Amino acid sequence: MSHPQPSIGSIASGRARGRRIAGALALLAGCATAAGAAPSDRSFGIWANPRNSVHIRAHACGESMCGTVVWANDKAIADARRGGTDQLVGTQLFRNFRKDAKGRWRGSVFVPDLNKVLSGEVRVVDGNTITGRGCLLGGIGCKSQTWTRVPDSASAAR
């Protein structure tokens, strides 16, 4: 299934859309892993967005990195449903993330509550912190967020 790129005019849709984009960026931050990364790569694991409403497992998938939702609160699930994603948990939100020469991960992120695919990047700050940045189109309408690592047992207990 192909998801169309948003137009520049979609940026002006107001604060609610900005919050959704920020949420998507939060999800994006969970995707810091890439081609050739060893299982011990500090990018692998489970990451929580700033509101702790979504947890993503960053993992290798073929030659790229993928990010899959492993837990979401009721509000995040409802927001995704309103956007057309019936099953948020298990949805692969991050695709084709690859490490660039500067050590940033770049790829595409699917935003369930907008039903859009955005470009994005993630930078590993340290073993427990990553920052994600996503943009609507050509570096316009960008948002950034900081995510924190979740111990595997904490996410599994939810």
Q: Are 64 and 34 in contact (CB under 8 A)?
A: yes
pLDDT above 50: residue 89: yes
pLDDT, residue 33, reads 35
Residues 6+ apart with CB under 8 A from 105: 31, 32, 33, 34, 43, 65, 97, 98, 99, 121, 122, 123
> How many CB atoms sit inside 10 A of residue 119's CB?
18
Token match 């995707």: residue? Answer: 31
Average pLDDT on 123-150 reads 88
pLDDT-derived band at 20 (thresholds 50, 70, 90) equals low
Residue pLDDT, tens place only, 105-129: 899 988 898 888 889 998 899 999 9
**Distance from the Cα of residue 98 to its chain's centroid:** 14
- Residue 144 predicted with pLDDT over 60: yes
Which letter does DSSP use for residue 86 in this model? S
